[in-house]
A and B are shown apart, each in its own frame.
Chain A
Amino acid sequence: MKLIIATIKPFKLEEVREALTEAGVRGMMVTEIKGFGSQSGHTEIYRGAEYAVNFVPKVKIEIVVAAAMVDQIVETITKTAHTGKIGDGKIFVLDVQQAVRVRTGETNEDAI
């Protein structure tokens, strides 16, 4: 099992969710976050004073999938979240040791 963490542009969330559901993903965790990468913020003006916005709003998606599905899921996210402009986000893949479904007590791939 793998945990896929993807940070994407907020307006892409719906599109990514639809694509992942079609690809067979049955659950995900979504968090509104702020952060910076190579996009590293921008400036805004409030009442005539320019100020730096150092953290840019993003959406973080966390999905646990069977190891065999990882490449397909990563590709789906990369394709649908892509705009070609700076700030499209990042994807990380981590190993998952154990999973349990609370309701039934099923474990690992049966639980996801």
Chain B
Amino acid sequence: MTSLKTLTAAAALTVLPMAAFAQDAAAPGFDEIGPYIMTTLLFCMAGFLVFFMAAGFAMLEGGLVRSKNVTMQMTKNIALYSIAAIMYWLVGFNTMYPGDFNGYFAIGGTTTLDPVGVAAADAALDYASVGSDFFFQLVFVAATASIVSGALAERIKLWPFLAFVVVLTGIMYPISGSWQWGGGWLSERGFSDFAGSTVVHSVGGWAALAGAIVLGPRLGKYKDGRVNPMPGSNLALATLGTFILWLGWFGFNGGSQLAMGTVGDVSDVSRIFANTNMAAAAGAVTALALTQILYKKPDLTMVLNGALAGLVSITAEPLAPTLFGALWIGAVGGVIVVLTVPMLDKFKIDDVVGAVPVHLFAGIWGTIAVVFYNSDAALGTQLLGIISYGVFTFVASLILWTILKVAIGIRVSEEHEINGLDTSELGMEAYPDFSKG
């Protein structure tokens, strides 16, 4: 027995190094796969949060439109998200991240996931799984399309709007996105846009602005040189929507760290959360105080816009600023919203929810503000990026909206608009009990 035991032990000793070696080849240590697991987890969780922003946009818009248009606004929101998800698979993701390309333009094909149960040796251990990366990026493009839907509410037809969404999410956003996040010409020049003040928010804002110009204002909004406000149907929903967007933004900015495998990375993600929250708070408080001073009463809808403007402002650089930096960058966003909402009305551009002031004007500000805390960013390059995205998206959107207008018409009839899109376009009311008494 003894000899047998010794023999076994001896055999074990000789086998052990070989076994350990074999195990190394099959399953690498946590040092090698840990970052991949953590970053994939970051993308999944941040992706869930950004996904929920779709609900935030829906509630914000549902609350700020009149009750006769709520069903239509909800229909547009769930349709645009779903279209964005399909278009991003079909062409968007690989157009935005084409790998080696000319830096300007490369239309990609459909997205393929990692194989089921992918082996560590075959995974992108220096980054994250394809599924998590794809999902995280696709929820961003959906946010861009949501921005457009709010500005054009209460008068646009459903199908032409969705046709625009197809092109925006499948082609326009991915092409301009590739310039920066796909490693294209603007990233080569040193343009800096951490989570997308320009790449996501301004792009949505430019597309919305072009649409609002081609579409025209709601009937009766501007009459005899006066602005006739059309108060929203449910400010509780609008407030809930803003809080949901605020929550989703932690994923939007935090996930854009794109790595969580080191102490530095995970600490940076939390740093981004704190700065993002601060900027939103500062934007809201600024709008609260400023509307009290200017109009003698605080305007809740402006406070909601102010919080969102603070969030958009910090999105281009949520990592580098101090908490005080995030505070004043967000506060300037709040000022921008309060001053530019009436300014758009002066130009008779009817933006129902304030999407252009929040996402475009605060987005431009946020992209400029990068230079205050990120020494790698230069003002000239930031302006080049802002202008390039602006010209491309605004002109392409203007052309597309005009083609849609001429070809199939983008606006409902006068009677349908007055009766409300819910009954005239969909035959279904959001609040049927309310209207029938």
Contact = CB atoms under 8 A, between A and B. Distances in A.
Interface in A25-49: 45-49
A28 B295 CA distance: 41
B228 A51 contact: yes
A81 B301 CA distance: 35
Interface residues of B, number: 17
B227 interface: yes
Interface residues of A, number: 7
B229 interface: yes
B345 A49 contact: yes
Contacts, number: 33
A105 B177 CA distance: 80
B164 to A, nearest CB: 25
Contacts of A48: 294-295, 299, 302, 338, 341-342, 345
A46 B342 contact: no
Nearest to A50: B227
Contacts of B334: none
Q: Which of A45, A47, A50, A51 has the most CB of B within 10 A?
A: A47
A45 B297 contact: yes
A51 B341 CA distance: 15
A46 B342 CA distance: 10
B231 interface: yes
Interface in B218-275: 226-229, 231
A46 B341 contact: no
Contacts of B342: 47-49
A54 to B, nearest CB: 12
8 contacts: A45-B299, A46-B229, A47-B229, A47-B341, A47-B354, A48-B295, A48-B345, A51-B227
5 interchain residue pairs of minimum CB distance: A48-B342, A46-B229, A49-B227, A45-B295, A51-B229
Interface of A: 45-51
